[in-house]
Amino acid sequence: MIAIELNGRKALITGGDSGLGAATAKSLAQAGADVAITYRYQSAAAEKVAAQAESFGVKAHTFQLDNIASKEDVDALFRQVDEKLGGLDILVNNAGTDGPRALCADSDIEAWRQVVEIDLFGPYYCARKAVQLMRSKQDRGVIINTSSVHEYIPWAGYSAYTSAKAGLSMFSKTLAQEVAPVGIRVIAIAPGAIKTPINANVWQDPKGLADLDDKIPMGRVGEPDEIGHAIAFLCSDLASYITGVTIPVDGGMLLYPDFRQGG
C-alpha cells in the first residue's frame, strides 16, 4: 500500500488559520508532519486549527505574523520557528489577498502595490528565509507557493492579483532551478474555485454558484481539503521528482469549458 507519509517533517503554513491554509495544516498533520501556522488577527481560529492538527498525534504551533510583506516581520517569524521547531522541512506560502476590484485606469496605486507586496514579496521573503534554514540544517526541503488559475486566466478588475500570481509562478520556477542541487524542491499550486470564506458570498448564492459551476468542466466548486491533499502529496517523497512547475488543482477550469461544443 502506498501512503503519503510525512512523519518527522516540520512544516510552516502562512495564513493557516482559515480556508486553504487550515485545510493544508490538517492534511500535513494527518500525514504525520508537525505543523506551525501563522495568523494575523484570528488567534482563536489559529488555535482551533492547531488543536485539530494535534488530534492526529503531531505537534502544532501558532505564530502571529503581522505583515508578511515586511522583511523584518518575516525574519522574526523564522527565528521563532527555528527556535520552536528546530528547523524546517516544508514551507507552504499560502497567505495572500486579491484586493479590491478596480479596473486599471480607476485603481488606487497604493492598493495595487499592497496586493503585489503581499502576494509576491511575502512569498519571496518567506522562501528566502526557508532556503537559508533548510540549507543550514539538512540540505533538503519543499517549498509550495500558492498561486491561482489566474496566473493563466485574466481577471478584469484584479490586475494586481493576476500580475502577482503570474510573477509567483516564474519566481517558483527560477528558485527551483537555483536550489535543486541542494535537494530543495519548489512547486507552485494553482487552485481554481474553492469553497473558502474569501469567496463565500459567491458560492453561497445559488446564481453565483451556478455561474461558477458553468466555468468548471467537473461541474462543481472544489473543497479546501482537495487542495490540502494535493499539497500533502507534493510535499511527500511520492513526489520526489517534481519541481519547478505549477500544478493546477481546478476541476478542469483551465480547459475553457465553453469550447466543449467547438469553437
Please give the positions annotated as active site.
161
Rg of the chain, C-alpha, whole Å: 18
| Count of beta carbons in the 10 Å neighbourhood of residue 180 | 13
| Count of beta carbons in the 10 Å neighbourhood of residue 190 | 24
In one-letter notation, the amino acid at residue 188 is: A
Provide DSSP, 200-248.
HHHHTSHHHHHHHHHT-TTSSPBPHHHHHHHHHHHHSGGGTT--S-EEE
- The Cα 233–Cα 6 span in angstroms is 9
What cell does 45 get? Answer: 481560529
Report residue 143: phi and psi, to 5°.
Answer: -120, 125
HEC string of 155-205 equals CCCCHHHHHHHHHHHHHHHHHHHHHHHHCEEEEEEEECCECCHHHHHHHCC
